[in-house]
């Protein structure tokens, strides 16, 4: 790292030019090739996936994407001409391959004659689907209302997070200017992060032609990439500034910053990537693709932090140095003095801090005892959206269960299909089961409507009950459809979560043990990170399941816990590495456990809290997004970062380190000899003169 710093100091323009060329080449290649983002909803080994594969093979027309055209009036029969005219207009639109006649199809109009629906078969793009929404709005009026429903329409109506990204960047700039007192200094971490995120996104567009990457990936890549990009650059820049304040030359300050904080960045980023690789343990292509893309973003960000940022420091270091020394001369107290005072305050009340914080985090995590995973239906969409209006109309006319129909397919004779239908019709939780109809050779389908909405627990129980009951019926029966697929996905998350946790936590423990040569510090880090994640997911469960703050009540998105766990665990380890590596550096220098805690907190407390404030602003801004998944993801990340930086690192870690004392750095000699020797900070022998630095007296 020191040699890399020396090279960038001597050739900053070359380093900057190389990054400009890489960024430009990535933009050019991605623009020429384009992207191939596509959602992979396959779930190998599940019954819903087995049914989807069967239909694709033997009855592909039964598995086509559809859009529901829902209409409501005092009497839909009286509005038949207007309805037919509107359906004819839709039939001519791009992406529409067919429209049925609701007045010629049994059951397409409610018994009271006030609500009906038609089905469009769809083979278009999201943008083409979005064009249908204003058509429905224009056609409504004079006693007749049209609304569009279905997954295609919900996806078309969701935003992409652009406003949130802009708000997050603006907030980051304001915080950095406040921290450094200079627009130039504040710009360097932002420039580094933007180069990294932009390059990573362009590369992901290229990778999407080789690996299936989901369409919802873009805002998540920005969230994580921009957050860790500013985080890593800020840590290195803060160490550079600290060395300048201590009297070092620009070249020496840059070398020290890269040889200390730079190592921490590389190791912390590696831990984030390891945590993301844990998503592979779930065996789901969609989450594996997320792991690949976000890991690529973190990797590019790491490289930018240790190559591009030092080059920028070399180019603008003289102006920054002048500003830093001017502010240092005006300072009335030593840098970090407030943090030393805070550390002393916590040390005197260590057990009280541990008990109070642990109890508080446990209380925040209690909603997880009633955690309900699933995928939100259109009933949780914002009031006034066409998908929500369609949901409400269908619920009023046919019952809530009509919004989450289940498909039951019999692969066998008509007699076996009729026997299955009799079994279905006899269940108390089934509102309606249509007679089986042929969809192919020896394939029969029946549509089952339950008594509850698609995201209700009663519907989850119904799917499992249907499968259990049909096992006793002759023939091969499969229960599937989008509602059943969402339930199967949630079941996979619950089933494979222990393996995922074991992989992520176990490997992270081993990495921290290798670096910090300690037994207790890795264990402490894992426990505190789990407490942080539990509390943040508890807050998400409370907000979204209970429907507080005006948010419609519904399940926590099945993607969220594992995806948030992997990213939050990795980012929490970032702060752990930043803080503990600095403490270990002081422990190696002084041999005094308390001095190590105080000086480590004094040198990293300010930068950790500033970085956390930036990440909270970025993540929290996604509450403004229309997509429920992004709202939940943003809140979970913002809450986790707040807890980790302001509660765990600034309060609980000093208290726990005080209680552990010198034992925090203990490791059996045989284990120390067996582990490979890797450090993130240069080691020095303790010096008697350093055992009680002036800052901590």
Per-domain residue ranges of the chain: 2-33+160-370+488-679, 65-122+124-157, 401-487
- With a cut of 70, say whether residue 33 has pLDDT above it: yes
To the question of pTM greater than 0.95 for the whole model, the response is no
**pLDDT for position 696:** 42
Is the confidence at residue 119, as pLDDT, over 70? yes
Q: SS3 of 148, please?
A: strand
Confidence of residue 542 (pLDDT cuts 50, 70, 90): very high
On the question of pLDDT at 89 being above 90, the answer is yes
Report the C-alpha gap between 101 and 119 in whole angstroms.
8
- Spatial contact of 554 and 545, defined as CB atoms under 8 Å apart: yes
Residues 6+ apart with CB under 8 A from 498: none
Q: What is the pLDDT of residue 23?
A: 93
Same CATH fold assignment for domains 2-33+160-370+488-679 and 401-487 = no
Name the pLDDT band for 285 (thresholds 50, 70, 90): confident
Closest Cα to residue 403, out of 412, 414, 413, 390?
Answer: 390
- Architecture of the CATH domain 2-33+160-370+488-679: Up-down Bundle (1.20)
Position 29 confidence tier, pLDDT thresholds 50, 70, 90: very high
pLDDT at 138: 92
Give mean pLDDT, residues 286-302.
86
Note the CATH number of domain 65-122+124-157.
Answer: 3.30.70.100
Looking at 45-54, 258-267, 332-341, 411-420, which range is the least confident one? 332-341
Mean pLDDT of 214-238: 81
Closest among 61, 48, 66, 160 to 390, alpha carbons compared? 66
Residues with Cβ within 8 Å of residue 57, at least 6 apart in sequence = none
As a whole number of angstroms, the distance between CA 611 and CA 378 comes to 36
681 pLDDT band, cuts 50/70/90, is low
Residue that the structure tokens 């259990």 belong to = 468
pLDDT tier at 686, thresholds 50, 70, 90: very low
Contact 152, 126 (CB under 8 A): yes
Cβ atoms of residues 448 and 415 within 8 Å: no
Tell me the C-alpha distance between 650 and 633, whole Å.
24
Query: For every residue of 628-647, which 3-state class applies, written as one string?
Result: HHHHHHHHHHHHHHHHHHHH
Tokens read off for 31: 């623009």
pLDDT at 165 over 80: no
Rounded Cα gap, residues 536 and 644, in angstroms: 10
658 vs 381, residue with greater confidence: 658
- The mean pLDDT value for 555-568 works out to 85
- Asked if 12 and 314 count as a contact pair (C-beta separation under 8 A), the reply is yes
Across the range 72-99, mean pLDDT stands at 92
In angstroms, the CA 634 to CA 568 distance is 11
The model's pLDDT over 43-75, given as tens digits with 9 standing for 90+, comes to: 888 899 898 888 888 888 777 788 999 999 999
The sign of the torsion formed by the CA atoms of 486, 491, 492, 494 equals positive
Q: Which residues pair with 409 in a beta bridge?
A: 445, 478
Q: Considering only 27-41, 139-153, 446-460, 679-693, which range has the smallest mean pLDDT?
A: 679-693
Mean pLDDT on 384-405: 89
- Pairing state between β 443-450 and 430-433: antiparallel
Between 423 and 376, the more confident residue is 423
Query: Mean pLDDT, to the nearest integer, of 305-334?
Result: 77
Task: Identify the sign of the CA torsion 657, 660, 662, 668.
Answer: negative
Pair of tokens at residue 221: 């890549």
Would you state the pLDDT for residue 334?
Answer: 59
User: Residues near 91 by Cβ (< 8 Å), separated by ≥ 6?
Assistant: 98, 99, 120
Q: State the pLDDT at residue 333.
A: 56
Q: Which of 362-366, 521-525, 578-582 has the lowest mean pLDDT?
A: 578-582
Lowest mean pLDDT, pick from 14-28, 108-122, 162-176, 206-220: 162-176
CATH number listed for the domain at residues 401-487: 3.30.70.100
Residue 144 has pLDDT above 90, yes or no: yes
Per DSSP (E only), the strands in 442-513 are 443-450, 476-480
To the nearest whole percent, how much of the chain has pLDDT over 90? Answer: 21
Cα–Cα distance, 327 to 330 (Å, whole number): 5
Residue whose C-alpha is closest to residue 223's, from 302, 164, 306: 164
DSSP 103: T
Alpha-carbon distance of 274 to 184, in angstroms, equals 34
pLDDT digits (tens, 9 = 90+) for 572-595: 877 888 888 888 888 888 888 888
pLDDT at 679: 67
Q: How far apart are the first and last CA of the chain?
A: 33
User: Given this model, what pLDDT does residue 692 score?
Assistant: 39
Q: Is 677 helix (H, G, I), strand (E, B) or coil?
A: coil
């Amino acid at each position: 790292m020191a040699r890399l710093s020396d090279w960038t100091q001597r050739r900053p323009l070359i380093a900057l030019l190389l990054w400009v060329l890489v960024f430009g080449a990535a933009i050019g290649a991605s623009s020429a090739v384009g992207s191939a983002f596509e959602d992979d909803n396959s779930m190998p080994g599940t019954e819903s996936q087995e049914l989807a594969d069967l239909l694709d093979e033997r009855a592909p027309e039964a598995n086509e994407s559809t859009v529901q055209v829902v209409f409501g009036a005092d009497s839909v029969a009286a509005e038949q001409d207007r309805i037919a005219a509107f359906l004819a207009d839709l039939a001519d639109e791009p992406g529409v391959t067919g429209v049925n006649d609701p007045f010629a199809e049994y059951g397409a109009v409610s018994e009271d004659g006030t609500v009906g629906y038609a089905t469009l078969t769809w083979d278009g793009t999201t943008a083409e689907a979005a064009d249908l929404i204003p058509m429905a709005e224009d056609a409504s009026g004079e006693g007749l209302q049209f609304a569009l429903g279905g997954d295609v329409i919900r996806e078309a109506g969701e935003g992409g997070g652009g406003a949130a990204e802009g708000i997050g960047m603006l907030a980051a700039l304001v915080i950095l200017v406040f921290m450094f007192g200079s627009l130039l200094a504040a710009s360097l971490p932002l420039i580094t992060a933007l180069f990294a995120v932009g390059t990573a996104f362009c590369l992901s567009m290229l990778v999407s032609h080789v690996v299936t990457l989901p369409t919802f990936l873009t805002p998540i890549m920005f969230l994580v990439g921009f957050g860790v990009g500013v985080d890593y650059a800020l840590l290195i820049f803060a160490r550079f500034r600290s060395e300048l304040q201590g009297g070092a030359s620009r070249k020496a300050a840059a070398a020290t910053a890269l040889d200390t904080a730079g190592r921490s960045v590389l190791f912390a980023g590696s831990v984030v990537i390891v945590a993301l690789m844990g998503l592979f343990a779930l065996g789901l292509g969609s989450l594996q693709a997320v792991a690949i893309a976000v890991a690529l973003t973190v990797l590019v960000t790491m490289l930018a932090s240790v190559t591009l940022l030092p080059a920028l420091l070399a180019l603008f270091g003289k102006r920054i140095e002048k500003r830093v020394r001017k502010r240092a001369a005006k300072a009335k107290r030593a840098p970090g003095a407030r943090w030393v005072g805070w550390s002393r305050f916590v040390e005197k009340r260590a057990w009280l801090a541990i008990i109070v914080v642990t109890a508080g985090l446990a209380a925040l995590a209690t909603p997880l005892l009633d955690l309900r995973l699933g995928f939100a239906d259109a009933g949780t969409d914002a009031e006034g959206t066409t998908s929500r209006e369609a949901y409400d109309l269908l619920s009023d006319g046919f019952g809530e269960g009509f919004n989450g129909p289940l498909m039951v397919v019999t692969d066998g004779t008509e007699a076996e299909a009729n026997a299955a239908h009799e079994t279905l019709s006899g269940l108390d939780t089934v509102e309606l089961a249509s007679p089986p109809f042929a969809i192919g050779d020896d394939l029969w389908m029946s549509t089952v409507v339950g008594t509850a909405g698609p995201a209700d627990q009663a519907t989850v129980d119904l799917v499992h009950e249907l499968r259990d009951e049909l096992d006793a019926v002759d023939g091969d029966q499969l229960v599937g459809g989008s509602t059943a697929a969402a339930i199967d996905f949630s079941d996979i998350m619950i089933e494979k979560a222990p393996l995922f946790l074991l992989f992520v936590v176990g490997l992270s423990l081993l990495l921290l043990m290798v670096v910090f040569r300690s037994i207790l510090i890795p264990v402490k880090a894992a426990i505190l990170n789990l407490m942080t994640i539990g509390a943040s997911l508890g807050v998400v469960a409370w907000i979204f399941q209970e429907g507080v703050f005006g948010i419609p009540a519904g399940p926590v998105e099945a993607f969220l816990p594992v995806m948030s766990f992997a990213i939050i665990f990795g980012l929490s380890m970032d702060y752990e590495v930043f803080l503990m590596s600095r403490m270990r550096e002081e422990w190696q220098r002084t041999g005094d456990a308390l001095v190590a805690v105080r000086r480590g907190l004094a040198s990293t407390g300010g930068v950790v809290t500033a970085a956390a404030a930036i990440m909270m602003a970025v993540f929290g801004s996604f509450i403004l997004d229309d997509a429920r998944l992004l709202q939940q993801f943003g809140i979970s990340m913002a809450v986790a970062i707040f807890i980790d930086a302001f509660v765990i690192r600034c309060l609980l870690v000093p208290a726990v380190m005080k209680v552990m004392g010198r034992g925090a750095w203990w490791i059996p000699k045989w284990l120390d000899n067996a582990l490979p020797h890797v450090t993130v900070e240069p080691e020095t022998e303790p010096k008697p003169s350093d055992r009680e630095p002036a800052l901590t007296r």
